[in-house]
Amino acid sequence: MMVAFFGSFTHLPVNAEPSNYKFDFGNGEVEKGYVGVSATEKYDEKKRYGFNTPEDMINVPASGSGVASDAVQFLEYGTKSDNTFNVDLPNGLYEVKVTLGDAFRVSVAAEEVYQVINMTGNNATDSFQIPITDGQLNLLITEGKVGTNFTLSALEINKLSRHPETKRTIYIGGDSTVANYYPLDSSIQAGWGQLFPQFVDPETFEVRNMASGGQIARGFKDDGQLEAILKYIKPGDYFILQLGINDTNPKNTTTEAQFKEYMREMVQQVKAKGATVVLSTPQGRASDFNADGVHTSVNRWYRHSIIALAQEENVPLIDLNVLSSAYFSSIGPEATLALYMNGDTLHPNRAGATELARLVAEELKRQGLDGFTGDKEKNTNKTF
């Protein structure tokens, strides 16, 4: 059990160190098999875990059951904050699973960059893989929406490899039509990035969806999402980037020329890391049918600049705008509308996001990029 391991952790030989760590946060009853951690518990070298600045933490109740019945709240936050929960870990590759307390919208940061973007809802769970190279995980719950509570109920850490190297990874950037929604396996609304792992060979790739609702090119570039990708992306990885919908909104004051240059800067930074960049145009609205029953939206969302940029930077292009229109035309207006949220012609539901993800994967496979199965029934990969 975890308590026994941590109690004598410093006296164990290296090969006896645990490969699984489970923490139950808050001041309530501790779930069996977990280490209980109160907000007041400061990091201790002998215990090898604890909060760096417990004065900036408080215990709070939570509405879930078991480990999710209580939580801790982070009063100080931000990806660069030192108000972290620290765990000493031998260098290697780990999978980290977080369970929130009561929370509206939060993100998870570790090693001073975002790891999960905009988890929503009480007791939401998500996982990510992270290489540890300095002997310690430093994690905190931070902004999804400023002014809400940032809480953590439970943390589970599993060692995957003693080598601190991620497997090949597909990173995805985008907006609300691409982003994750919670619970990940049953949400009504979904982005195509959330369903994309169904079409990816899990033996080849992990999928890391860094898209978020309302995002624009300037925000993705400057507000931490690109920074997280650049920290980890490497040769053999892919970065699929789809933006433009929100950039065209007048409130964001982004001209098409500015949008193109923000996108170019991101493309060039990722290319400099040796990874493959793929640009994608956004799909249109469900209502974009003409009088002849043909779906077309080729003039939406700065599409022409995305196509031009892909040609100028010599990177693969997925013209999802045209691919989705062809599919929508084939099934007709009524069936197309059924792939979107009720009363919403822009945001896909789970079925719609699945079809968009399929189109993206099929096009990548057609262009000769490896790692795509095209068979969601045989794929159990998940998104991180």
CA 64 – CA 55 distance, rounded (Å): 25
Q: In the numeric block, which tokens belong to residue 335?
A: 């069936």
DSSP H stretches of helix in the chain: 2-7, 192-195, 217-222, 225-232, 256-271, 303-313, 320-331, 333-337, 350-366
**DSSP letters of 49-63?**
EEES-GGGEEEEE-S
Instruction: Tell me which of 176, 280, 324, 325 is the catalytic residue.
Output: 176
Q: In the numeric block, which tokens belong to residue 368?
A: 């000769």
The structure tokens 């599409």 sit at 303
330 in active site = no
Residues 6+ positions from 109 with CB-CB distance below 8 Å? 78, 79, 115, 139, 140, 141, 142
Residues 6+ positions from 186 with CB-CB distance below 8 Å? none
Residue 126's beta-bridge partner residues? 98
CA 27 – CA 272 distance, rounded (Å): 47
Q: Which residues of 49-59 are buried (b: 16+ CB within 10 A; e: fewer)?
A: bbbbebebbbb
Listed residue (34, 37, 31, 67) closest to 49, CA to CA: 37
Backbone phi and psi for residue 167, each to the nearest 5 degrees, phi listed first? -70, 175
344 in active site = yes
Distance, C-alpha 301 to centroid of its chain: 23
Q: What is the CA radius of gyration of the chain?
A: 22
CA 378 – CA 384 distance, rounded (Å): 19
Instruction: Tell me which of 56, 102, 107, 347 is the catalytic residue.
Output: 347
CA 353 – CA 189 distance, rounded (Å): 8
CA 322 – CA 325 distance, rounded (Å): 5
176 in active site = yes
Instruction: Tell me which of 44, 82, 344, 370 is the catalytic residue.
Output: 344
Task: Assess contact for 170 and 369: CB atoms under 8 A.
Answer: no
Catalytic residues: 176, 344, 347
